[in-house]
Amino acid sequence: MEFHMRFKSFLLILSLSLSIFTTPSACSSGNGSDEVVFDPQAAPALALNGQLNVDVLIPEDSGAGLQAAAQDMLDAFSAISGAESAQPLRGGVEAVAKPAAVYVKIDADAGAELGEQGYSLACGIQEPQKKVLAITARNETAALYGIYH
């Protein structure tokens, strides 16, 4: 049973990680148009020198469930890349240290269209040239859905 749940988690996180590392130039064309152009040179490597090249950031006051989900994501990145796993970071997007990151933000005032268990995924570039996938949710339960999307 434990293996089945871990494998299911792995597959779910795999789909999210592929969206981070294979999206066209951090979800934009980079040329100001709506046309999406894939540039494989623009995508950061998942791992570098045996270490993960991506951070997962969660809020300072995250509960055990969100901490475990973030760790599952890092463990999946590790399994995919063969790199050593890492620990989730706590804090805001300014704490991003690596070229790519998944940033989980809990915002109780997030748009009403999200509902109680909804979330949004947004790609962007944080200076200096760090690609960030932001998961914004109104509460931790919704953030979990976003992580396992």
Q: Is pLDDT at 37 greater than 90 in this prediction?
A: no
| CB of 7 closer than 8 Å to CB of 72 | no
Lowest mean pLDDT segment, chosen from 37-41, 55-59, 113-117, 123-127: 37-41
Please give the pLDDT value at position 79.
94
How do residues 94-107 score in pLDDT, each as one tens digit? 888 898 999 999 99
How do residues 40-79 score in pLDDT, each as one tens digit? 556 678 888 899 999 999 999 999 999 999 999 999 999 9
Question: CA separation (Å) from 16 to 19, 31, 35, 149?
Answer: 5, 25, 22, 6
Q: For residue 126, what pLDDT band results from cuts at 50, 70 and 90?
A: confident
Please give the pLDDT value at position 28.
45
Three-class DSSP category at 131: strand
Residues 6+ apart with CB under 8 A from 20: 54, 100, 102, 123, 131, 133
